[in-house]
Amino acid sequence: MINGNILDFGCGNGVMLPTLAEHFSSVVGYDKHTEAARSLKIKLDLDNVEIRSASDINERYWPFWDKHFDLIWASSTLEHIENLGMLAYQLHRVLKPGGQLLCLSPSENWIYRLGRKFFRLEKPKDHYHTAQEIITELKKYFVLEIRKSWPIGLNIYSMARFRKE
């Protein structure tokens, strides 16, 4: 187990919480909708997990100390945040120097557009940003260490690892 603090930003139903709790001494799940994550925490008796409710993820000040987290995990979340500049600032503020930010984002591309056209669907209204827009904004605050897209050739998802200097 790593003696460190991790923020599961946009923890959703808590699917990653058991794995994170197994590897980190302190885990905070942060989301607008916390009912499912709270139930999972109780059901699995995840003592080192705390669930925090974000009334508004776009809020100006998150309820975390500066430089508190060693790692921030954000999976399929950042594209849903309208104010990407404020988000990047807050992620930077709460991450320790040398800490890492891992994010996974869908890559808006021809495959998504074709699929929506085929199934007669519209782009979700709460998908404000592409993976590239997210990467560009985060690079204003963090050093991009690695970026991978998969599946190779189709680039449906983009995974990036950033470091705070």
Blockwise average pLDDT, block size 10, the chain, 165 residues: 91 96 96 95 97 74 89 94 92 97 84 80 81 94 94 81 97
Q: What is the pLDDT of residue 117?
A: 85
State how far the Cα of 78 lies from the Cα of 133, in Å rounded to an integer.
10
CATH tag for 2-163 (out of 3.40.50.150, 3.40.50.300, 3.40.50.261, 2.60.40.1180): 3.40.50.150
State how far the Cα of 48 lies from the Cα of 132, in Å rounded to an integer.
34
Q: What is the pLDDT of residue 111?
A: 73
Distance of CA 1 to the CA centre of its chain: 22
Residues near 77 by Cβ (< 8 Å), separated by ≥ 6?
9, 10, 12, 103
Q: What is the pLDDT of residue 58?
A: 58
Q: What is the pLDDT of residue 149?
A: 86
Q: What is the pLDDT of residue 39?
A: 97
Q: Where are the domains of the chain?
A: 2-163
Q: Is the dihedral of CA 79, 83, 84, 90 positive or negative?
A: negative
Q: What is the pLDDT of residue 125?
A: 80
